[in-house]
Amino acid sequence: MGAAGCSALRRSYNVPMERDIERILISRKCISERVSALADSIGETYGADSEGLVIVPILAGSVIFLADLIRCLPFKMKIGLMTVSSYRGKTTSAGESRLIQDLNLDIEDRHVLVVDDILDTGSTLRLVVGELRQRRPASVRICVLLRKRSKAPRDFSVDFVGFDIEDVFVVGYGLDYNDHYRNWPDIGVLKPELYE
């Protein structure tokens, strides 16, 4: 059953998320269709190399995307978790990225696919890729659900992109503001008065 069918979404609560969302940027239906197309491209790219693939989701923003994506990938894989903090806290402007929890798997000679929610300035993924390359994987590719086209650095490319979006602060489908809204099923633009 999709989130649209959750009866809890139709009841009223004291702290509904809905009132904080200015507009829906990408609906859950669009996300679901795009995630399955992304999985097809990933499957085609890896082909026989999918054996021994290690997926490295960057926590916590990628959890919901990861859960949907890997269930569309029909081959065996391992999942190694990494947590990175980008010091956003109560502000939406990016700070320095810092590794909070390191990978718990050996990736030497393995093909690695990093999965993250969004490519903004690229500081998070640069840090992650730098850390992973030191462990001599066979390859490192990157899959992001969203990319802020105008801000993403030109010298840093990713292999799979769900959607290119405008430069707005978005929440939902795993993306947070101050650790809230990750469970909003669509991707929405947060009302600017909440963080300005």
Active site residues: 120
- CB closer to ligand IMP, 79 vs 189: 189
Smallest separation (angstroms) from ligand IMP to the CB of 151? 8
SS3 117: strand
**169 in contact with ligand IMP (CB under 6 A):** yes
Q: How many CB atoms lie within 10 A of CB 7?
A: 7
Look at residues 171, 179, 18, 182 and name the one whose alpha carbon lies nearest to residue 10.
Answer: 18
Smallest separation (angstroms) from ligand IMP to the CB of 94? 4
The answer to whether 165 touches 148, Cβ cutoff 8 Å, is: yes
Q: Which residues, numbered 115-154, are part of the site for ligand IMP (CB under 6 A)?
A: 116-124
Q: How many CB atoms lie within 10 A of CB 77?
A: 16
Q: Binds 97, which of ligand IMP, Mg ion, none (CB < 5 to 8 A, cut-off by type)?
A: ligand IMP
Q: Binds 94, which of ligand IMP, Mg ion, none (CB < 5 to 8 A, cut-off by type)?
A: ligand IMP
- The pair of three-digit structure tokens given for residue 196, joined into one six-digit string: 């300005």
Cis peptide before 67, with omega less than 30 degrees from 0? no
- CB closer to ligand IMP, 50 vs 191: 191
Judged by the rule CB under 6 A, the positions of this chain that interact with ligand IMP are 61, 86, 94, 97, 116-124, 169-171, 175-176
